[in-house]
């Protein structure tokens, strides 16, 4: 079972395949198992590395959970890349993971070959309601992880059911719950807002959203992200917050050609910057909406 040491604890990660490195960065809460439905397909062409953030999954957290913030995630990602080597990477990042991936591309463009930002945080035009919700989710009065996950995961697949089980179990108490709340509070930090700096991203970007996501909407956050990244490819899926788990076949059908172009591999069809594509439940034959 592979682990790497970091300044925040021992980082467990899944590893599969060979070739150009492809990092899979999960949401808050979440871990590498959230990507189980797509890892085998991605590993046919890439060296897939899916870490558990400190305090989630099999990774330890060696700092106070209340002190977890964006800077910790940035630091851990860079330490992980340092340990893996200097080759530029592809990244698929979900929610918090998308924000951290984008921030890496802004600060260290030479380390990023391409980005797939899935329901990325950091493009929300904050108002009284959104700020209040972040503070509430960062408090002891927050919705339980299981209840909240049941709202934003809209299609039931085996991987989604496992995500909900983790939300109801290991993510609902102890260190995981405390660090979850701390991350929600950090969403109000100025550095979390990608809007002022997103134009500095030099690598190719795909933005991917679920049309039924009540947390990060393609019609609000997604519209803002498209204005900030006008050359990004844009994909919508008939699901919630995690298309790779809810509609994995549809997700792969849109993401794999983009990754191939970023990697310099042959692709079928031309990818047009700024184009919009759509993935539906019909592409997979699976995923029961709730």
E-only strand ranges, the chain? 3-6, 9-16, 21-25, 47-51, 89-94, 112-118, 155-156, 205-210, 233-237, 276-279, 288-289
Both structure tokens of 267:
């692709």
pLDDT at position 275 is: 61
Both structure tokens of 250:
């549809």
pLDDT at position 169 is: 98
CB 29 within 8 A of CB 153: no
CA-based end-to-end distance of the chain: 35
DSSP letters spanning 143-208: PPHHHHHHHH--EE-HHHHHHHHHHHTTTSSHHHHHHHHHHHHHTTSGGG--TTTGGG--S-EEEE
- For 232, the 3-state DSSP assignment is coil
pLDDT at position 266 is: 78
pLDDT at position 274 is: 61
CB 183 within 8 A of CB 134: no
What is the model's pTM? 0.93
- What residue ranges of the chain have pLDDT lower than 50? 270, 280-286, 288-290
Q: Give the Cα separation of 195 and 224 in Å (integer).
A: 8
pLDDT at position 68 is: 97
Q: How far is CA 157 from CA 153, 247, 290, in A?
A: 10, 8, 11
CA proximity to 100, closest of 128, 86, 79, 85:
79
pLDDT at position 273 is: 58
pLDDT at position 267 is: 67
> Tokens 């059911």 appear where?
161
Domain boundaries defined on the chain? 3-281
pLDDT at position 272 is: 55
CATH topology of domain 3-281: Rossmann fold (3.40.50)
């Amino acid at each position: 079972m592979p682990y790497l040491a970091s300044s925040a604890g021992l980082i467990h990660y899944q590893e599969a395949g060979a070739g150009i490195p492809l990092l899979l960065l999960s949401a808050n809460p979440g871990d590498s198992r959230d990507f189980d439905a797509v890892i085998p397909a991605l590993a046919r062409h890439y060296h897939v590395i899916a870490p558990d953030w400190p305090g989630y999954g099999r990774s330890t957290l060696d700092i106070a959970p209340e002190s977890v913030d964006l800077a910790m995630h940035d630091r851990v990602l860079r330490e992980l890349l340092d340990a893996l080597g200097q080759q530029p990477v592809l990244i698929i990042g979900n929610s918090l993971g998308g924000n951290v991936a984008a921030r890496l591309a802004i600060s260290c463009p030479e380390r990023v070959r391409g980005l797939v930002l899935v329901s990325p945080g950091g493009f929300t035009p904050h108002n009284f309601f959104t700020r209040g919700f972040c503070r509430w989710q960062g408090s002891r009065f927050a919705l339980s992880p299981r209840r909240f996950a049941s709202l934003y995961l809209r299609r039931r697949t085996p991987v989604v059911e496992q995500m909900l089980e983790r939300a109801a179990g290991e993510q609902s108490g102890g260190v995981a719950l405390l660090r979850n709340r701390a991350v929600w509070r950090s969403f109000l930090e100025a550095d979390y807002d990608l809007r002022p700096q997103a134009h500095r991203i030099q690598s190719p970007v795909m933005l991917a959203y679920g049309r039924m996501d009540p947390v990060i909407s393609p019609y609000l956050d997604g519209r803002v992200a498209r204005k900030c990244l006008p050359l990004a490819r844009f994909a919508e899926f008939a699901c919630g917050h995690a298309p790779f788990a809810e509609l994995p076949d549809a997700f792969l059908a849109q993401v794999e050609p983009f990754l191939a172009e970023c990697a310099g591999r042959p692709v079928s069809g031309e990818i047009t910057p700024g184009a919009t594509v759509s993935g539906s439940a019909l592409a997979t034959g699976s995923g029961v909406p709730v």
